[in-house]
Amino acid sequence: MKLDKMSIKFKLFFYLSVFAAAMLIMLWLFQIVFLDDFYRQIRINNIKDSAETIEENINNDNLNILLNSISQQNQTFIRILLEDGSNVFSSDAAPDSLIHRMPSSELYALYQKALQNGGTLLELRTREEPKDILYKDKPFEGKMPRGYGMKDESMIYVETVEKEDGSKVIIFLNSTITPVTATVDTLRIQLVYVTAITVLLALGMALFVSKSISRPIIKINSSAKELARGNYDTVFEGRGYLEIAELNDTLNYAARELSKVEGLRRELIANISHDLRTPLTMITGYGEVMRDLPGENTPGNIQIIIDEAKRLTTLVNDILDISKLQSGTQALTAERFNLTKGIEEILKRYGKLTEQDGYRLKFESAGDIWVNADPVKISQVLYNLINNAITYTGADKTVTIAERISGSRVRIEIIDTGEGIAEEQLPLIWDRYYKVDKAHKRAAIGTGLGLSIVKTILDMHRAEYGVISKNGQGSTFWFELRLDSRDAETKEGGCKLT
Ligand code: ADP
């Protein structure tokens, strides 16, 4: 099983077990394998230190006090002899003391060895444990208990020292190292229990921790599956720790957004099919009338068919524009152009509308204004804002387009005298497919895409934009473009806005 396919439970158990095993191995190494060596080393250093202290104080009259104290505190047997074998000092002789039991010949041999060795000698001696064979031919009931301390290990340290008066003394120190064996055996038994307890604890903890970690994840996962099935009202409820709470919030946010998009999508389909059906019904209706009734074949009726076809075109273009803009496939092709001239060109095209329906489009120009922007896209912005203003303006049928210089920017305002927009709707009108008043007769003409196109284009230009509007007091849509700092070389020219 690959590690990333493991459930949290197994993974945690795996890691905890590795951790526990590492701890146990360390414990075992230090407490059992190396304990003897550690202990032995400590004892060796200890005995060497003792010898050194004795050597330093060998001429002291109160040497005996020091020797007794070393002997008691360090459980060390001490003998100090003269070269001829006569005793200078001997700590209390105990049955364990090798240097007290040894015949003088052996002590002499040790002394000789020390001399050859440069004056000091350290010797480790082991007395083997009596073998069980001893009991084999004399059967006893039950198990023979192991004899702790039967295996003796002791060390002898020999040092020759010259006293102030020129006489030579030999210091013999002897201490046992045995007790560790007993300790190790105790520890070994304890370690078996510790291992068993640790494994159980690791398992228990893995289960507990994994459960508390995975519970919210499992919960979130099943909610996410719900969401994937299209149930956008799903609420994510996983709690327990920071990361999960954050994931939870993010998913709740995503679910809310998805449900919004889903709502808008449904609305769009309803809107678009309605918007497509209206002109199509008109076109078919007028077409049939003109076919069946010769007298109805008038330029007026043909115009209606053309207008409706144009509406369809606008609608389809809007949808295409927004999807192209928002998919990021359209790049800006910014160039230097005369904005004032551009606006005038656009207004010229509205000429027919003003004549026919009595709309008044006023332009407050600020002279030749040069900007560096994408002329085609800026004209889309202007068309959309002016179309909206014409659609929603008041009974005086007036729309004002104002051009104002403020610092290094030009501010374009499209002002109408209509009903305005309620304050709570203001942040929403830039959203895709958003329409304020669905019952409004004229509003039904729009697709709800116009301002979204405007927003996307102005964002691409990093332009500032906004709307000032109050219910009943008309609306002012505005945007600002940075002026092109170069001087206008071609005063009369200027790029045509399409
Ligand atoms: P539409 O195609 O419906 O006009 P828009 O994205 O251009 O879509 O506008 C979104 C909504 O903002 C419109 O449905 C309308 O209610 C509101 N709106 C836009 N411009 C104006 C305006 N000048 N006056 C009043 N309301 C407006």
Ligand 1 centroid from CA 342, angstroms = 23
Q: What is the mean pLDDT of the chain?
A: 82
pTM over 0.75: no
Kindly list the domain boundaries of the chain, sorted by start residue. Answer: 230-330, 331-491
Beta strand 360-364 with 398-406 is parallel
Contacts of 305-314 with CB under 8 Å at 24 or more apart are 308/278, 308/279, 308/280, 308/282, 308/283, 309/279, 309/283, 311/279, 311/445, 312/276, 312/279, 312/280
Among candidate residues 164, 177, 161, 166, the one with its CA nearest the CA of residue 53 = 161
Separation of 419 CA from ligand 1 center, angstroms?
A: 11
The CATH architecture one would assign to domain 230-330 is Orthogonal Bundle (1.10)
pLDDT-derived band of residue 192, with 50, 70 and 90 as boundaries? confident
**Alpha-carbon torsion (299, 300, 301, 304), positive or negative:** positive
- Bigger pLDDT: 12 vs 342: 342
pLDDT, greater one: 488 or 234: 234
Q: What is the pLDDT of residues 126-137, one digit of tens each?
A: 766 555 555 566
Residue identifier of the C-alpha nearest atom 12 of ligand 1: 429
Place of tokens 């340290």: 157
Question: 253 to each of 217, 233, 262, 267, 414, how far by Cα in Å?
Answer: 17, 11, 14, 21, 36
Residue 444 alpha carbon to ligand 1 centre in Å: 10
User: What is the reported pLDDT for 437?
Assistant: 59
User: What is the CATH code of the structural domain delimited by 331-491?
Assistant: 3.30.565.10
Ligand 1 lining (C-beta closer than 6 Å): 384, 388-389, 392, 416, 418, 421, 429, 434-437, 443, 446-452, 475
Q: What are the pLDDT digits (tens) for 99-118?
A: 888 888 888 899 999 889 88
Per CATH, 230-330 and 331-491 having the same topology is answered no
Q: How far apart are CA 324 and CA 454, in angstroms?
A: 13
Cα of 166 vs centre of ligand 1, distance in Å, is 119
CB 57 within 8 A of CB 66: yes
Strand, coil or helix: 95: coil
Atom number of ligand 1 nearest to Cα 448: 8
Q: Which two tokens stand for residue 135?
A: 């009991």
Q: Residue 327: which pLDDT band, with cuts at 50, 70 and 90?
A: confident
Average of per-residue pLDDT across 326-332: 74
Cβ–Cβ < 8 Å for 372, 484:
yes
Q: Which two tokens stand for residue 15?
A: 């890691």
Indicate which atom in ligand 1 lies nearest the CA of residue 419.
25
